[in-house]
Chains A and B, each alone.
With several copies, the nearest count.
Chain A
């Protein structure tokens, strides 16, 4: 990752304000310019530039051989990516929406994640699968899924989700440069929020503290990071100082960061959009309970989506953890044991 530089002509000062969608587009463009082996393909990524315009103008810049539309079949997209990687390319396929990763599940789990293993390193899979993910935009069915728990369980995969434009840019560059397959979950609800993207990536492995605090730690990723920061803002008005830990990498999980933060605060609330049962919050709560055993002042709380299919637009605000539900969770960890 030494060469993670924004292109000079696009960021003469090294700092610019971009939306996450723009930052991702810039990351793809810069990665393709630097490495001629990078390929971008998927449904509607070419002339259209993707339904979220994350691949905007890449085809005109890099040509139809390096940026191309495929037929409408997600298993086909990932299976083709596996073959392209076998031929020495560095594919960055897009799955148009989270819910449409399921048809590709077999190729991801049984092929992409295992080819390096199966071939004992002869056929590495430097593939970054971009997936516009999570809910919050009133989209139709299957357009609001949280996939991290599924993928974080798959041996051979790494999973990451950025929470702001700066991370989006640098983590995508990092993921593309990785020699291992990375599932890159883009929080589509944050595509249009602007933020500063600086030339200096900062550390790209592990978690980051999005907001420091000392009474309890909120653990989140993707769009929930901004929401947790909002919660922390509100809580601060009441004198409660919440730390927000932006996990970023969902596999591997940054265990030292969890131990450090929650070891300090003694209280943790995990926030995710996915359903509670079997969600990544379980893994996290298990790790925290183990790493901070004896130092926890309250059981780890999980404020999550319910154990229900991701609902229609009207009901998504009831489903995704909102400020109030997170505050209730915070209150539970703060008041625990006080009777």
Chain B
């Protein structure tokens, strides 16, 4: 039943794209590293680093078409936000503890709100993609999920719904070999999420998630396949979570340095080597990219440091479009009591 999918190696990758990818990955890395520092400094209550997954995240976004598609992130998708050019102050609104889901505009940004339930938004991608198709539109939904998330019942329901209802979804799995402290083989029976695609009669693709060109090509192929056929695709990017699960985590309790060594070469180094080898970029260009990244991060940092919590009254906004009398009364009492203290 699997419709054959065009060979991903066919999608063209030019130097321009690779340079764009490199710059985005460098910004992502610098920002990710800074965020860990900011957490240590007390600016962020917590932060889940994506170190090592830059190629997967950036490549996946470059392969989608943000004029029509919508991305459904997890909590570890800073590289996606960077590549999709999402307002990063708004994005960090989530990690600052300002607002759960972030303060960017999810519709204009083509990035659904940050999702903290593992597997929680995968079904939304199916519904959204179906909805666009019912409207005769060409939108593809990209559902981001991890190896751990693949264990959730919702992810199975989503793959089956998407296939049966013909919702053009790309299930983009970042298989980083760890779900918090649990390694892949204790999580994913069979050890491949893409291998499950066959059971739904849909295409499953595995790609080297640390090779941004490969990710881009596979994603592009998957997205265009979904768009053209309304058939969902599972695309699994093999990568490695090089950092802790989150800033509060202590990986030394559950994984060895030997395991960490299996991660292989860093995706940014790999791309840099490739650009250097092909002559597509030189030292001075790399230095410029680094400088740009530092500049962006400093600017962002200044804004984040100055950003203030949402006012308490925001608690009561947006619970409903039409608030209940009870909520209105609670809001009034809250205001009264805050004033009197």
Contacts and interface: CB of A to CB of B under 8 A. Distances in A.
A116 interface: yes
A69 B181 contact: yes
A121 B99 CA distance: 13
Interface in B111-144: 112-113, 116-118, 120-132, 134-135, 139, 141
A123 B321 contact: no
Given A79-B123, A140-B75, A71 B186 contact: yes
Interface residues of B, number: 83
B97 interface: yes
Nearest to A251: B324
Contact of A179 (B157, B160, B187, B322): B322
A229 B58 CA distance: 52
B46 A139 contact: yes
A119 B127 CA distance: 17
Contacts of B309: 314-315
B318 to A, nearest CB: 5
Contacts of A49: 253
Contacts of B1: none
A80 B126 contact: yes
Interface string A80-119: 1111111111010000000110010011001100011111
B314 interface: yes
Contacts of A46: 181, 254
Contacts of B340: 328
Interface in A34-74: 39, 43-44, 46-49, 51, 65, 68-73
A324 to B, nearest CB: 5
Interface in B297-336: 309-310, 312, 314-322, 324-327, 330-331, 334
Interface stretch (A11-19, A21-29, A258-266, A303-311): A303-311
Contacts of A39: 134
Interface in B75-114: 75, 94, 96-101, 103, 105-107, 112-113
Best-surrounded residue of A111, A119, A255 (most CB of chain B within 10 A): A119
Given A76-B161, A82-B124, A106-B117, A307 B327 contact: yes
Given A75-B123, A81-B127, A123-B107, A43 B327 contact: no
B149 interface: yes
B322 A72 contact: no
Nearest to B121: A111
B131 A84 contact: yes
B148 interface: yes
B107 A48 contact: no
Given A255-B325, A306-B334, A72 B123 contact: no
A213 interface: no
A188 to B, nearest CB: 13
B280 to A, nearest CB: 39
A47 B131 CA distance: 21
A292 B168 CA distance: 56
Contact of B326 (A69, A252, A315): A252
A270 to B, nearest CB: 15
B106 A89 contact: no
Contacts of B187: 71-72
Contacts of B198: none
A117 B326 contact: no
Given A72-B151, A118-B101, A328-B337, A253 B160 contact: no
B330 to A, nearest CB: 5
B305 to A, nearest CB: 15
A119 B180 CA distance: 27
B228 interface: no
Interface in A118-170: 118-124, 138-143, 155-156, 158
Nearest to B336: A328
B153 interface: yes
A158 B181 CA distance: 31
Contacts of B97: 138, 312-314
Contact of B164 (A71, A115, A324, A325): A71
B281 interface: no
Contacts of A120: 99, 103, 317-318
Contact of A84 (B128, B186, B248): B128
Contact of B153 (A70, A103, A140): A103
Contacts of B199: none
Given A72-B151, A123-B107, A312 B98 contact: yes
9 contacts: A48-B181, A71-B187, A76-B161, A82-B124, A82-B127, A118-B101, A141-B100, A312-B94, A328-B340
Interface of B: 45-46, 70, 75, 94, 96-101, 103, 105-107, 112-113, 116-118, 120-132, 134-135, 139, 141, 148-149, 151-154, 157-158, 160-161, 164-165, 179-182, 186-188, 248, 250, 253-254, 309-310, 312, 314-322, 324-327, 330-331, 334, 337-338, 340-341
Given A106-B120, A312-B310, 17 more contacts: A44-B181, A48-B180, A71-B151, A71-B164, A72-B118, A73-B151, A76-B151, A82-B123, A86-B112, A103-B154, A117-B319, A123-B107, A142-B117, A251-B324, A252-B327, A312-B97, A328-B337
Interface of A: 39, 43-44, 46-49, 51, 65, 68-73, 75-76, 78-89, 91, 99-100, 103, 106-107, 110-111, 115-124, 138-143, 155-156, 158, 178-180, 251-253, 255, 276-277, 306-309, 311-315, 318-319, 324-325, 328
